[in-house]
Structure 1
Amino acid sequence: MLPTVSKGRGTSAVRPAPGFSQYLRRIVKWQQMDIEYTFWQMLHLCTSPKVVYQHTKYHKQTKNQWARDDPAFAVIFCLFLIVATSAYCAAYGVTWVHSVFTVVSVVAFHFLLAGTILATCCWFLTNTYMREETPSSHAVEQRVEWLYAFDVHCNSFFPAFVLLYVIQYFVSPLLVAHGFFPMLVSNLLFMVAISYYHYLNFLGYDVLPFLDKTTFFLYPIGLVIILSPLMILSGFNPTRYMMRLYFG
């Protein structure tokens, strides 16, 4: 995470935000996590995501950083992923060795590694190409914190998790069946999940007042809308593909 720095004299610079190491240390301190607020955020990310990012502005005013200083969201999200993936493994009757491998791969690669890569790309793009020039040499230079970019990924991924891990689990017997209707529903489910991910990604960066041209993060939605009918016409069923990939 990058601390806020000031150009020029910077005599009124505020205190730097807590570092990444402090964030990691709080992971093992469950009693310091705000669990109730985390569940509130998760609920509103699915219903009123703009409200969540309005509270992000309040966090900046009180904590002098855009990123969460509480790792509760990421920790609880990992627990949800473990439970959901374990339910899939139990339902599809794979061995316990295969189950452990699948759970670890989903948490470590799908969420943490992929999230780290996506957050780093967005952090680089926003700081390099989207920051507005400061009008005065004495103005505080603002940058996107890496931890905030990771927060945005977590926020964006959660509704997709609800659609593709939870809802899809209960309707998977229908979605893996042969026929046009299961394929159509499966493609629509993935289209909505991926589009909503990118919409929340846009909201996360659009709330930052020092960024410009954040509509760039909406462009992938257009690509998803174009590709989805092509996938339907080609007979591709993403749910069946994912089930074969993980459970044979």
Structure 2
Amino acid sequence: MLPTVSKTRPSSSTSRPNPMFPQYLRRIVKWQQMDIEYTFWQMLHLCTAPKVVYQHTKYHKQTKNQWARDDPAFVVICSLLLAVATVAYCAAYDHSAAHAVFVVISVLLFHFLLAGVFLATSCWSLTNAYLREEAPNSHVVEQRVEWLYAFDVHCNSFFPMFVMLYAHGFIPVLLSNLLFMVAASYYHYLNFLGYDVLPFLERTTFFLYPIGVVIVLSPILILGGFNPSRYFMNIYFSQRL
């Protein structure tokens, strides 16, 4: 009898676990292993030329065979900058040290990390379930979006938004709404770039659709006199404003 070759793909239960994530977590406390200079280079170019950053993502895939960063420096530095900005707001507007600590932890934990985990998981599930291209034949290696890469995309998209939103104070309603519109649109544009660079995904323009929603809502909020800057400041500093 001639030997036969099964064309069924291995199930996830038989695949080996990816050791990348535990190594990633261990490197968070090892500053000497972080590439700080490259991280600041990425942050600068995310605000000026984001396509350059994702071009380097392709090089990273070719050299290390993974789309996600293996260096947690970006997350660590972004968290530190976010903490410093939040502390500055607390020093100017807060009424107690205990509440200031709560605000800092809340911003870091909920605004950045937990929101990022939720958004990254949603995009990771969506892209793997609906946006991957069908393999032309059984000999092509199946590719999937890495969860850690989805979180990288969130962090990349979050940083310019942080620069635009957390760095500004009280400004008129028009400029405030315009800044929020640009920041939110830029977030979704960078989200799109992050998934569009993956050659095995299709219909990634889906990630640009929220920009249309933002553009439609902005004039309505402006005409209604809604000031997003003051709204978010009141959430944490209502006793002082």
Task: Please give the TM-score of this superposition, normalised by the length of structure 1.
Answer: 0.89
Q: Is the 8 A contact 2:68 2:148 kept in 1?
A: yes
Say whether 1:212 aligns with 2:202: yes
Structure-to-structure mapping, 1:79-90, within 5 angstroms: 79-90=80-91
1:227 — aligned with what? 217
> In 1, Cα distance between the equivalents of 2:54 and 2:9?
32
1:178 matched residue in structure 2 = none
* Equivalent in the alignment of 1:153: 154
1:237 counterpart (220, 227, 230): 227
State the shift of 1:138 in Å: 1.3
CA contact (8 A) 1:17 1:63 kept: no
Over 3 Å counting, the alpha-carbon distance change for 1:49 and 1:224 in structure 2 is same
CA distance in 2, matches of 1:73, 1:155: 9
TM-score (norm 2): 0.91
1:70 counterpart SS class: coil
Give the Cα–Cα distance (whole angstroms) in 2 for the partners of residues 26 and 158 of structure 1.
21
CA distance in 1, matches of 2:67, 2:20: 13
Q: How much identity, in percent, do the aligned residues show?
A: 77
Is the partner of 2:139 in helix, strand or coil?
Answer: coil
After superposition, residues 172-191 of structure 1 pair within 5 angstroms as 172=170, 175=171, 182-191=172-181
**Residue 231 of structure 1 aligns to a residue in which SS?**
helix
The separation in 1 between residues aligned to 2:139 and 2:89, in whole angstroms, is 56
- Structure 2 unaligned regions, length at least 5: 1-6, 11-15
Tell me the C-alpha RMSD between the 2 structures. Answer: 1.6
Structure with the larger RCO, 1 or 2 (CA within 8 Å, 6+ apart) = 1
How many residues in Structure 1 have an aligned counterpart in Structure 2?
A: 227
Deviation at 1:22, TM superposition (A): 1.0
Q: Distance in 2 between matches of 1:31 and 1:37?
A: 13
Preserved contact between residue 130 and residue 213 of structure 1 (Cα < 8 Å)? yes
8 A Cα contact 2:94 2:100, kept in partner? no
Deviations 1:145-174 (A, max 9, x none): 0000000000000000000011x13xx2xx
Per-residue CA distance 1:219-248 (angstroms, 9 max, x = gap): 000000000000011111111111111111
* Structure 2 match to 1:44: 45
